[in-house]
Amino acid sequence: MKIDINVLKDYLNMKSWSLQVLALKTGLPLTTIQNYFYEKTKIPDDRLLLILSAIIPDKNDRELFIKTYNEEWYLELKEQEKFNHAIKGLTVGRHLKVLRIKRDLTLSILSKVSGITIASLSRIENDKQFPSRATFLSIINVYGLNVSDKNRSLDIYESLREIHLRNLRIEKKERGENK
């Protein structure tokens, strides 16, 4: 558990909330809340954030609380928030195009060095085609990224790939296609 359950109990007492009130505020089943507060089960981070959001509605106060009681978790949350904000609106194509332009490379040069056709590179950069992991790696390997930047690019790729695959499943479902 990232935050001592007794601290959460103290906050509930200060607000004069019962576990039933907390269940209503969070939308979580009362038995789940009871299991957490009677320490029968560990509170997952996403549920802990939901509980904290109900108990401490102000985001700044909540962040201060988390930072005070568990600085390591606070830093993890801030990094995840930064990452989520960084990729909001970002696409794999835009990411690759920015990397290429920063290096003053043309599609023609990138094509010759990576072995990927100009047409494919153009479709990828314009988000008409989602690259395979192998294609993505072929492209970023041309850019000579350091290990940290390469790992960041791979994190972005994997996150956006999950979104892309989820969207494909939704589209198929809407069209009534199986798998």
Ordered by start, the domain boundaries in the chain are 5-81, 92-175
If you average pLDDT over residues 118-123, what whole number do you get?
96
Q: Which range among 32-41, 42-51, 64-73, 118-127 has the greatest average pLDDT?
A: 118-127
- Return mean pLDDT, the chain: 83
CATH 1.10.260.40 for domain 92-175: yes
Whether 5-81 and 92-175 share one fold: the answer is: yes
The token duo for 87 is 């990729």
> Residue 1: which pLDDT band, with cuts at 50, 70 and 90?
very low
| pLDDT score at 160 | 79
CATH topology assigned to domain 5-81? 434 Repressor (Amino-terminal Domain) (1.10.260)
CB under 8 Å to 11, separation ≥6 — which residues?
55, 56
